[in-house]
Amino acid sequence: MSQSELEQKPGLSIWRVIIFYGVIAAVMLYYVFRLFTLQIVSGEDYRNRAEDNRTMEVSLPTERGSIYDRNGYILARNIPSYNLTIIPANLPADEGATQGIFRQLSELIDIPVNNGEINEETERNFTPCQTDLGISQIVFIGDSLAPFNPVRVKCNIDAAVAKVIAEKSKDLPGVEIEIESVREYPTGSTTAQVVGFLGPIPAIEQGYWESLGFVSNRDKVGYAGVENSLNEILIGKNGRRIVEVDNAGKILRDLEPPVVPVPGNSVRLTIDTRLQSIAEAALVQWMNTWNLRLGEQKYTSGAVIAMDPKTGEILALVSYPSYENNRMARLIPAYYFEQLQNDPHRPLFNTAISAEHPPGSVFKMATAIGILNEGVVTPEKLINDPGVIRIEEKFFENDPNPRTREYVCYLYKDTGGGHGDLDYLGGLSQSCDVYFYKVGGGYKDEVPEGLGIWRMGEYARALGYGQVLGIELPGEQDGLIPDPNWKRVTVGENWSTGDTYIATIGQGYVLSTPLQVLVSVATLANDGKLMRPTIVREILDANGEVIQPFQADMLWDITKDPMIHVYDEDFFQTGELKTVEPWVVDMAKRGMREVVANGTATDAFIGSEIPSAGKTGTAEYCDDIAREKHICVPGSWPAHAWYVGYAPFDDPQIAVVAFIYNGDEGARLSAPVVRQVMDGFFELKEIDTGLETASNP
Amino acid sequence: MFKKEVWRHFDYWLFGAVLLLSVFGIIMIRSAVAGNEELAGSVQSQSIYVGLGMAIILITTAIDYRLLVSISRWLYILTIILLIGINLIGEEAFGSTRWFQIGVINVQPSELAKIVMVLVLANFFSQASTQQHNLRWIMRSFMLTAGMVVWILLQPNLSTSIVIFVLWFAMLWISGLPTRFMVIFGLIGLIVLVVFIILIVSGVDIPFLEDYQITRIVNFLFPDPSARHGETYNVEQALVTIGSGGWFGAGYGNGTQVQLRFLKVRHTDFIFSAMAEEFGFVGTVIVMALLVFVVLRCLYVARNAADQFGALVAYGIATLIFFQMAVNIGVNLNVLPVTGLTLPFISYGGSSLLSLVLGIGLVESVAAHGKTLAF
């Protein structure tokens, strides 16, 4: 080849030039193809990414509504908390000046100028406010992430220090004080079980909250109490700006008109903080008095609820032990939360609405209206209490091998005797177990046909047992009214006569919450009208205008709404429904008055000026805790103390329940607490109506 | 000088295309640096360079390229002295030493070296065209090239070194590199490339390669998709910038990727991407076509040159422009790893522009003076 090429002078070998043309053509065609792929085929995709680059959504935080008690006393509000932030891009360009600013800040906020090393690990693990790094390191990381975004150097600095820094702001370019809103609970642990606390958006609900425009790691949601149950009302709506940003994160302009945040509504609760304090003090002091007397920490937890029986408004709701919700205001400290969770007395658990325990004798009120309404006995009929009765325990009709068991009245344990002959009022006021065994389960010829478990359940449900009543607090439980079907399914055993006896007096399988016990008696006090217990009085907008006034919510009236199923002789429902006769309700009220006037609660209410009515309860139980302590001794079981009452008798204004876990005896432990709450209520009433000066010259 | 004759054969098409590209470059730089105070002077300085550049083309055209044959040896030595000088006393810029400041003009000897090497190699191959095309011939041309490149490598400036070696190879090829050597060279090149990649990946230090250059190559071969900044981010943003252009682009000054500075080094290395966003597929293809037109026009001059030297000079300049353009666009399209090569005539940079227009001036000289002997 060389010979022929050498002759082609001057100029270039044609085929070699052609190959060069070929290379140019190949490269350029490939580039045009590549350009086409990028711009036309995937153009949409890249346009979206470019759009993502330049648009940023800025969430404008809303303000959570406040929580007040019924008199306008603040239970939860927002207070400012100051964070020191630095915008790295706004620091002086001169390194020396920047270091000077850092040194000044270091003295004020007590964070070293230099600490720790910058490497991939520390950069990845960096969490503002929770870092050991020095100011320089924090700013360096912030600068590398987004130089125009403020990076938090220290959170929750002293208000005075914040003020000093704010005043010096001209000399401290790039340094800013960020004001963050945190929750404050002036009444603390007294109302913690009602008010609750806030926490960060949980990871599992992140999608939900973010779809509503909330920001994880910034916005908080309610974790407990009304902060949780009324979260939707309180939380408000974040505002939003769609802005154009440049590569450094600097906001250039709004791309859309900004949406301003809508502040949350405020809530006025039905709680009276003063009564709440009285109730808490009454419960705690009385338990402590007895603990001192007994020389052991025997009584450790309990609940008190006070309610207006006519409206269902909860005036006080105490669950003891409680917790300090102010400690969760900024963030939930892990050690404190762990401590609360591991506490055997369960301070985070709302005993008043979530604890399910046997109600004991307070449950007799359900049986009591049942026996009269069903005509099992007349009020005058005398039933004999010999102290102990023996019946054959039959698990099904014609059981060939019945077991004979003894059923005793509580009096028998102490005296060896019984109450003798008692009528209806006597049976109630003495809380005579044998009276209720006989009328509830039937006894030989004396009461040929007792009320029976099915019909007892009807009356219990009519008074609010066995269901969730709908108070606006998280964690309300429904309790349990057992019946033969339930027992067969759950326990795997047939229902026996003895089960009915025990259920009649609110023990055995029967479970209820303190709230249900309160509502059952409040319903009777209110002449059969069951008011839904409520904790919310009014909802106010951000300007304090009432947007939802209070309205009492009657769920049903047992004397008017037919809700008692009629059963045939084989205990099948006939499909008919009936009401409770008004005179039955009246008799039940008279019975409860007798309890105070001339019965089990008489001692507790000696000298009380305002006539009240009520019912004691001492509910034997044996749960895991008792079993562990080896106190489940047959014949001498541990017992919860109950008392539920209302006052004044003729015009009920307040109904109160007190429950003390393992409280031994309702009349001794719980009734005095209820009395103190009632006394406190009427005293407050006098103060409020200005009558105090008149009565105490 | 045969003035009339010279301008009769002056290639107006080539000059026009270069002028068009240079002016378009100024316009594009203006858009790319908008809002950046530090770079605000770029438009003005580039305009001055373009004006200066056009003058250089005309002046160079007027000089008969044959005169350069006699001084190419001296140019070769002078350039090497300049390169050594820069290594000793040059100013530090961007981590490696490449600049001489003469008044307001930064002179980059390595840019000059490209043009000088075109002349030197064209001289060598035209004089040696009667020789046997054997290994000795190849080695002599190689030594000639290496004698210059070694000083550039020492700066270190890998991309210019590669450009000059490519230039050498292209000249060798057009001067009749026998096919058997071609095959051997191809094999050696392949083996070197494979060994090179293995060494880089295994993290072995390679002489003449800085850490950042290794990082570039590794990033190209194994990109980290989650990078927020650095090379991969830049290349990724270049793709987003190009891709968002669509058929007709966002319009001049309206590309968000460019104007909001998501695209980095947008007035130099990535000006192609900026152009692609604002003028779209159609506009970009037109500019690419114009660049190819310049290359083809140089080759046209080469094929019609009066002598072997002139042909090789024009061919060499064509290669230079084409290679730089292909590499720069390849980087923008993410088919090549990031290099420092700019887009001819359009990217910001006086030194690069001046050396390119010097090359165009030489081609014009070949075009204009070629016919002067043919009367």
Q: Among A205, A309, A351, A342, which Cα is nearest to A661's?
A: A351
- Give the long-range contacts of residues B166-170, CB within 8 A, separation 24 or more: B166/B319, B166/B323, B167/B114, B167/B117, B167/B118, B167/B121, B167/B316, B167/B319, B167/B320, B167/B323, B168/B117, B168/B121, B168/B141, B168/B142, B170/A20, B170/B315, B170/B316, B170/B319, B170/B323
Cα–Cα distance measured from residue A224 to residue A475, given in angstroms and rounded to the nearest whole number: 9
Of B257, B281, B315, the CB nearest to A36: B281
Any A CB within 8 A of B307 CB: yes
Chain B residues with CB-CB distance to A40 below 8 A? 246-247, 281
Helical axes B158-174 vs B109-127, angle rounded to 10°: 20
State the pLDDT at residue A350. 93
Q: In the 3-class helix/strand/coil scheme, how is A268-300 assigned residue by residue?
A: EECCCHHHHHHHHHHHHHHHHHHHHHHCCCCCC
B279: left (phi > 0), else alpha (psi -120 to 50), else beta? alpha
Which of A10, A42, A50 comes nearest B256 by C-beta? A50
Among partner residues A6, A11, A46, which is closest to B130 by beta-carbon distance?
Answer: A6
Nearest Cα neighbor of A495 from A450, A447, A486, A481 is A486
Quote the tokens at residue B43: 């438009």
Phi, psi at A655, each rounded to 5°: -120, 135
Torsion angles phi and psi, residue A343, rounded to 5: -65, 125
pLDDT band with cut points at 50, 70 and 90 for residue A697? very low
> What share of chain A has pLDDT > 90, as a percent?
59
Using the 8-state DSSP alphabet, how is residue B338 labeled?
A: -
**What 3-state class would DSSP assign to A139?**
helix
Residues in B 5-24 with any Cβ partner in A closer than 8 A: none
Nearest to A113 by CA among A61, A153, A62: A153
Question: How far, in Å, are A409, B325, B344 from residue B287 at the CA level?
Answer: 106, 11, 11
Structure tokens, B351: 């030194």
Cβ distance A1 to B247 less than 8 Å, yes or no, reads no
Q: Which residues of chain B have pLDDT under 70?
A: 1-4, 89-107, 203, 205-210, 223-231, 371-375
E strand map for A87-150:
none
What one-letter code names the amino acid at B275?
Answer: M
d(C-alpha B97, C-alpha B86), whole Å: 7
Report how far apart, in Å, the C-alpha atoms of A110 and of each of A104, A129, A502, A503 are: 10, 13, 67, 66
Residue of A35, A45, A51 lying closest to B333 (CB–CB): A35
| Residue A658 near residue A283 (C-beta atoms within 8 A) | yes
Alpha-carbon gap, residue A553 to A269, rounded angstroms: 15
- How large is the C-alpha radius of gyration of chain A? 36
Is the CB of residue A414 less than 8 Å from the CB of residue A424?
no
Q: Pick from A564, A473, A53, A561: which is nearest to A228 by CA? A: A473
Confidence class for position A549, pLDDT limits 50, 70, 90: very high
Closest CA to A6 of B300, B179, B298, B125: B125
**Structure confidence by residue, pLDDT tens digits, A73-95:** 999 999 988 988 998 888 887 88
B65 touches chain A (CB under 8 A): no
Per-range mean pLDDT, top range of A108-122, A538-552, B176-190? A538-552
Contact B240 A13 (CB under 8 A): no
Q: Which residue has the tokens 């000298």?
A: A607
Name residues 103-162 of chain B within 8 A of A (Cβ): 129-130, 132-133
Average pLDDT over residues A133-144: 87
**Residue whose C-alpha is closest to residue A244's, from A50, A58, A48, A56:** A56
Helix (H, G, I), strand (E, B) or coil at A263: coil
Q: Give contacts of B 338-367 with A, CB under 8 A.
A: none
Per-residue pLDDT of A310-336, as tens digits, reads 999 999 999 999 999 998 887 788 888
Return d(Cα A229, Cα A237) in angstroms, integer.
Answer: 17
Residue percentage of chain A with pLDDT more than 70:
97
ipTM of this predicted structure: 0.91
Tokens of B74: 């001296």
CA angle B21, B23, B24 (to 5 degrees): 60
A18 interfaces chain B, CB cutoff of 8 Å: no
| pLDDT computed for residue A626 by the predictor | 84
Q: What b-and-e string marks burial along A281-292, b requiring 16 or more CB atoms within 10 Å of the CB? A: bbbbebbeebee
A33 contacts on B by Cβ (under 8 Å): none
Contact list in B for residue A147 (CB cut-off 8 A) is none
- Report CB contact under 8 Å: B299, A28: no
Residue of B nearest to A246 (CA): B260
Cis preceding-peptide flag for B156 (omega within 30 of 0) = yes
Name every residue whose Cβ is closer than 8 Å to that of residue A144 and which is 6 or more positions away in sequence: A123, B229
Binary contact (A39, B173; C-beta < 8 A): no
CB atoms within 10 A of CB A660: 30
Distance, in angstroms, between A46 CA and closest chain B CA? Answer: 5
A650-676 pLDDT, tens per residue? 999 999 999 999 998 899 999 999 999
- Residue A381: strand, helix, or coil: coil
Block residue for tokens 């204009």: B368
If pLDDT is split at 50, 70 and 90, which confidence band does A147 have?
confident
CA–CA gap between residue A565 and residue A398 (Å, rounded): 27
Give the per-residue pLDDT at A412: 82
Give the residue among A502, A517, A510 at the shortest CA–CA distance from A433: A502
Q: Per the structure block, which two tokens stand in for B201? A: 């990946």
Question: Which residues have CB under 8 Å from A408's CB, separation 6+?
Answer: A387, A388, A389, A433, A434
Q: What is the pLDDT of residue B283?
A: 94
- Looking at every residue in chain A, the average pLDDT score rounds to 89
CB contacts, 8 Å: B280 with chain A: 39
Q: Which of B33, B263, B96, B326 is nearest to A31 (CA)?
A: B326
Average pLDDT over residues A59-80: 93
* Rounded CA separation B98/B111 (Å): 9
Tell me the sheet residues that pair with A565. Answer: A577
Q: Chain A neighbours among B 248-267 (CB < 8 Å)?
A: 256-257, 260-262
Please determine, for residue A695, whether its predicted confidence score (pLDDT) is greater than 80.
no
Give B373→chain A minimum CA distance, Å.
13
Q: Which of residues 92-151 of A touch B (CB under 8 A)?
A: 144-145
pLDDT in tens, A221-239: 999 999 999 999 999 999 9
Give me the DSSP letters along A423-459: -HHHHHHTT-HHHHHHHHH-BTTTBSS--HHHHHHHH
CA distance B126 to B176: 11
Phi, psi (5° rounding) for residue A429?
-70, -35
DSSP B305: -
> Residues with Cβ < 8 Å from B321, sequence gap 6 or more?
B291, B294, B295, B298, B344, B356, B359
pTM over 0.90: no
pLDDT, residue A552, reads: 92
Q: How large is the average pLDDT for residues A607-624?
A: 91
pLDDT surpassing 90 at residue A560: yes
Q: Looking at residue A429, what is its pLDDT?
A: 92
